[in-house]
Structure 1
C-alpha cells in the first residue's frame, strides 16, 4: 500500500459551483516534493488539512473531520473503463491518490500511517455534489456516483507531519465494529434505515453522521 500522489487545488472560477463566489478548488493536481498535513480546525473555520490546497466552500468542505480526502487509484481505473476516458490523479478532487488500499472498504475509525510521521483516521464517505458533476462534465453524475458507492474516504489528522508521493501506507488501527465507509455512505444517502447500524462506530464517525443516526433512532423509538 502506498501513496501515489498528493494533490492540491487552486481556486478557479467556474460556472457550475454552488459557491457564492463562483470558485472551486476541486481540480487538484499532483504536488512535487513534501506536503505538510495538519488539523485545520472546526468546519466553517478551518479549510483543508493539506498545505497549499484550496477549500472554497467552507459550508460543506474542510474542517477537522474532512481534513483530507483519499481516493483509490484502482477506483479511478474502474471509472476510466466505464467512462471511456483517462482520469488523472486528483481529478476526483482527492488530496491523496492511493494504491493497494481498499479506501471505500475502510472502517470508520481506521487509522493509516503515511510515511514516518502522519497518522490519519477515517471519518466518512464523500457526498457527491453539483460542483463535482460540473467538473467532470458527465450527465447524471451525482446519481451515478452514488449508485456505485465507491466514495473514497474523508479523514481527520491524528498526527501531523509531511507526506510525499511514494510514501508507504500502513493500517495501524482497525476497529472491530464492521462499519465501512461504503456502509456509512449508503446509510446517509439511499438507505437511511441503515443509520442505527452506524452507532457502534461511536465518536469516530463524522459528527454530522453521528447526529443523524441518533436522530433517526430517537424517531424510531417514539
Structure 2
C-alpha cells in the first residue's frame, strides 16, 4: 500500500507506507533520534502515528535506518518490522540505496557538473567536519557528484548524489569549493534562514524493498517557502 497522508495531529507527511517500512518527509528542525536536547524525535512521532492509525496496544516497533541533520529536510526511511531492519541496514551499508539531494547555493560551482573527492575529518566537540584535499590522520575519504540543474535569480540549484556517507559530507564538501549551502552558518554561509533550516533537501531515494524485493522510488515534495517552490516550477 502506497499513500500520502498529512496527519493534523502530528503534521507528519507520510510519503510511503506498507507493512514493513514507512517513509516520511522530514521538516527542518525535527531530529530523527533523541539527543541531549530532550526534544521529541521524529522516530517517536512516527511511533505515535502508527499506534494511533492502527490502534495498536503497547509499544510500537520502529527501526531507524538512516538520519538527516536537524536543519535538513526530506526523505527519512524507517523500518516497521524487525525482519526488515537488518536487511535495510545491509542495503545502506553496502551503498545499494541511491540517495539524491537538492541544495541551494549562492555562488556558482567551478563546473556545471563534477565529482568531488576530499578527506573529511570530524571534530566531535564542534560537531563539524573539515575537508582536506589529501588524506590526513583520522580522515575518511568522501566522494560526491553534483550538477547544476537550475539557475535562479540569486541562487543555483544543485543535484547531489552521494557515493559515500560521511558526517556533514554535502555541507562540508560544497563549502570547500566555495559554495556553502544557503542558511548554513556552520559551513560559511553569511546569514541564517528564518526558520533555522539550511537549504538542503533529501529529494529522492531508490532502493530494493527488503521483503517484497521490488524497486521502490520515493520523491519528497520541496519545502513550502518561495525559493524552494521556484525550483519546482
More helix by share: 1
More strand by share: 2
TM-score, length basis structure 2: 0.26
State the structure with more CA Rg. 2
TM-score, length basis structure 1: 0.27
Q: Which has the higher contact order (CA 8 A, sep 6+)?
A: 1
